[in-house]
Amino acid sequence: MRLSSDLSPTASLPSSPRSGSPTRVSRSAPDAGPTGLSLLRHHLRILRDPLAGIHEVTARYGSMVRMDWGPFVFWLANDPDAIKHVLVDNAKAYHKSRNYDGLRLALGKGLVTSEGELWRAQRKLVAPAFTPARIQRYVPAFVKAAEDAADGWRAGTDRSRTDVHHDMMALTFRIVGHTLFGTELGADADRIGPAFEEVLRFAEDYSMSLVRIPHRWPTPANYRFDRALATLDALVERIVRERRERLARGGDAGEDVLAALLAARDESGREMDARQLRDEVLTLVGAGHETTANALSFTLYLLSLHPHWERRVVEEIRGISGERSPSMEELGRMSLLERVIEESMRLLPPVWGFERQAQEDDVVLGRRIDKGHILGVSTWTLHRMPEYWENPEGFDPDRFLPERKKERPRFAYVPFGAGPRICLGASFAMLEAKAILAVLLRRFRFEVASGYRLVPEPLVTLRPKGGIAMVRHFR
């Protein structure tokens, strides 16, 4: 088995340790984990290449690995039963870890980073915009945005080379504007994309460093972060101001997320304070477009490497919706397309890991977890464990056929997390991805540009470093 975070476009998603060794990932003996020099070596390796480093230490020590880093005890918990316990059964005993502090500096107390009563109340407030009935109503907006993008490309030449990741970010960003905030964000995409990237890079560096430089110190990294944040804040300010102006002119309040946030009142009748509103809007703009764009880009990339699956999925799309834009009912019948997206998120999970910190002492799979210990799940590693995935590096969407799904533990696949903090936008993202791919694959064939190599970059999300160079061919 090969594992590296450099993925070659010519092989069938290879992966191997650059240094050689690991073979099978297996359940460990109690409290297995590196110590002494070996710990230092693994630590440095994880800092340099988190995807390969975490996979290697899991392969060497098992699915519950303990690592003591100075005052911090860190467990790698890549085990379906441990995941169920921590994220679902005993979720109340855990908060998101201190490694979200970088993200907290950017997103404040928005849905992704808040805890306790505030989180519960805000999730209840926003959830109605993500019910199945509401999400179905977004389908025309998903399809229209994809058709608009395709029309724009169609006006160009056949065989145009493009950065597919940039294109997908612009598309999903526009969709978030239309569906969640009732506004047009298309013109902002080129400024906002780099600003989000800067913030994610800062958050990742901040969380990985054992010694944290205070955010108020005048360092180049802090300066770049503040500048990026100012760009994002200006966007949020505009989204809110435009809606308030529309309401002041007697315009319709609407039913979208922004309407719910603006209409919310606490027990004493006060509206949400400006800072909380800003945190929620920025969180939803960010969470609502970047991950889906990554999933779409990786899926187009993987299909190009596997033309047999690409042919099959295009046949399915054409067989169901012909040359028309797909309807909600037709998207529901595109089961191979859904399996392709699931398989893509297995191999290249847009959120490559998440963490919890124990708020009280606990026991997980017989290991003692003390208050303050951190438990990390790496979807990148979990989704490649040979116990659950035959030929883990191979691209095989049929692993997600219902009968084959039943053979695996439910928590061996968690691209959207699990339990009460499961991704609020999971169904939205799946339907959006299906709608966009059904439109684009019917009209274009995407081919990996010659000489291009995918390098997945694990920031808070898993991104294609430097974009994905592909050539679009008209069909």
State the residues that interact with ligand HEM by CB under 6 A.
96, 111-112, 123, 284, 287-288, 291-292, 295, 350-351, 354, 415-417, 421, 423-425, 428-429
Residue closer to ligand HEM by CB (options 28, 276) is: 276
Q: Min. distance of Cβ 433 from ligand HEM in angstroms?
A: 7
Bridge partners of 136, per DSSP, are none
What is the H or E stretch that residue 456 is in? strand 456-458
Distance CA 315, CA 312 (A): 5
Nearest residue to ligand HEM by CB is 425
Smallest gap from Cβ 415 to ligand HEM, in A, equals: 5
Task: Of 357, 367, 356, 379, give the one whose Cα is nearest residue 54.
Answer: 379
CA separation for the pair 446, 453 (Å, rounded): 15
Q: CB-wise, 292 or 321, nearer to ligand HEM?
A: 292
Nearer to ligand HEM (CB atom), residue 94 or residue 446? 94
**Residues 232 and 196 sit within 8 Å (Cβ to Cβ):** yes
CB 108 within 8 A of CB 278: yes
Nearer to ligand HEM, 274 or 422 (CB): 422
- 456-458/367-369 β-pairing: unpaired
| CB nearer to ligand HEM: pick between 203 and 471 | 203
Least distance between ligand HEM and beta carbon 426 (Å):
6
Quote the least distance from Cβ 287 to ligand HEM, whole Å.
4
- We find the least distance from the C-beta atom of residue 120 to ligand HEM, in angstroms, to be 9
Alpha helical stretches, state H, 26-79:
36-48, 50-61
Q: Which is nearer to ligand HEM, 342 or 447 (CB)?
A: 342
Residue 289 CB, shortest distance to ligand HEM, in Å, is 7
Contact criterion met (CB below 8 Å) for 359 and 93: yes
Give the Cα separation of 394 and 373 in Å (integer).
35
- Tell the burial category of 217 from Cβ atoms under 10 Å away from its Cβ (0-12, 13-18, 19+): exposed
